[in-house]
Chain A
């Protein structure tokens, strides 16, 4: 009985571990700041079908929670701290996000454009 449980745990570990940690080097980094319970910038443009490393910097002394139903993301960022959230690759479209602790003011969106950015 315990052997079959062990097998399931191994299967779970295998599923979770599958193909993780693709190279970090070519993941574009996008910066997002929280100041006075507002997001700066409140609109982030990112290329389609590309994984993005979102660097969220909380300049407020209070904690905030980055949340987006559309992106399936949720993360607490404490006061005067920063954090990293990976998003995508996403198809073109608009993906709103908000600060769950101060949702009246902390609103923003990620706009995924079909075109590749001109760099």
Chain B
């Protein structure tokens, strides 16, 4: 139970930790107060608890498709928030910068609710097995520790980049997470037959299995799948483009308004 719980908790924590790290670096670059982080964590904790308590009922909605529809909805909402974050963080408007902390805290809250609910359900189930409680919770602590360390490593790794690359790298990583959200939502909707089956594009499970350590890491960072379907790949492309194009549009807007201002002087 020990090793299983390390891996399971690590998987759940890693995805959220990487997203949070990127947002923290972005907010630091934009000189925003990081208070949104605490709000997001608290809301995410509450969200995870509410979701885990109600998941049994939600799962039975819509002819047993409720769980997938809700989680896919959360993922698409995260993609929408990342798109707005991309747009607003490059934009020059004070008002749009002002709304960034709110967007970031909702984004973190939604991501944590989704990942956290599974942890709560898993650990809650273990409480029925007295003999497994101690190894499982120890493993969970270690898994969480490794996941958080990866987040901290990414945070300082990003900050150690040359200053002019930090911002672009954050946007690129957010766009990759946006792609992952769209692709995973598509997969979930296929699982309940709301999205039609589409052929598998490639099979890289021999070279890079999803259950290997690099596989897990790449999954968390760029949404790696060994056997993605055609629709998943299309959704990934759309999600990636949404975030990256909105950031580019914001940047162009910023550049234009700055030029106008200097022209007036």
Contact = CB atoms under 8 A, between A and B. Distances in A.
Contacts of A16: 185-186, 189, 194-195, 231, 235
Interface stretch (B61-69, B98-106, B161-169): B61-69
B194 A20 contact: yes
B218 interface: no
Nearest to B79: A12
A92 interface: no
Most buried by A among B121, B229, B231: B121
Name A's interface SS. Answer: loop
Interface in B171-212: 182, 185-187, 189-197, 205, 209-211
Contacts of B231: 15-16, 18
Contacts of B17: none
Interface size class of B (residues with CB under 8 A): 35 or more
B238 A15 contact: yes
Most buried by A among B76, B189, B194, B197: B197
A24 B220 CA distance: 34
Interface in B205-235: 205, 209-211, 225-227, 229, 231, 234-235
Q: Which 9 A-B pairs have the closest CB atoms?
A: A84-B64, A62-B125, A19-B196, A78-B56, A63-B125, A86-B193, A69-B210, A63-B121, A20-B195
Given A12-B76, A18-B196, A86-B190, 17 more contacts: A4-B249, A16-B189, A19-B196, A20-B195, A61-B128, A62-B126, A63-B122, A64-B125, A69-B211, A70-B227, A72-B227, A76-B59, A76-B118, A78-B55, A81-B60, A84-B63, A102-B4
